[in-house]
Amino acid sequence: MLRLVAAVALAAALVLLAAYFQLAGQGPFARPEARHLRAMKERTAAPATYAPATFADFAALPHGAPLARYAPMEQRAVSLEGYVTGLIHATDGDVHLEIGAAPRRAGSPAAMYVTGEITPAVRRGRPSWTYARLRQSFRPASGVGPPFDRPTARVRISGWLLYDYQYDGLPETGDAMRALWNRANPIHPAGAGRTSTWPRLSGWEIHPVTEVEVWDDSLGWRGLAS
Residue 172 has what pLDDT?
42
Can you give the pLDDT of all 226 residues of the chain as single tens digits?
666 655 555 554 544 444 444 444 455 557 899 999 999 999 999 999 999 999 999 988 988 889 999 999 999 999 999 999 999 999 989 999 999 999 887 777 778 899 999 999 999 999 999 999 999 999 998 777 777 878 899 999 999 999 998 887 544 444 454 455 445 544 444 444 444 556 788 899 999 999 999 999 999 999 998 6
| Fold of domain 38-223 | OB fold (Dihydrolipoamide Acetyltransferase, E2P) (2.40.50)
**What is the structure's pLDDT at 226?**
63
Task: Give the chain's length.
Answer: 226
Amino acid at 196: S
Q: What global pTM score does this model have?
A: 0.76
Given this model, what pLDDT does residue 174 score? 47
Rounded distance between C-alpha atoms, residue 86 and residue 111, angstroms: 10
pLDDT at 200: 82
Per-residue buried b or exposed e for 24-55, using 16+ beta carbons within 10 Å of the residue's own CB? ebebeebeebbebbeebbebeeebeebeebeb
Q: Where are the domains of the chain?
A: 1-30, 38-223
- Element containing residue 98 per DSSP (H, E): strand 95-100
What's residue 223's pLDDT? 94
Closest of 83, 86, 159 to residue 118, by C-alpha: 159
Beta bridge partners of 161: 206
pLDDT at 151: 86
* CB-based contact 196:185 (threshold 8 Å): yes
pLDDT at 104: 82
Between strands 95-100 and 51-53, the pairing is unpaired
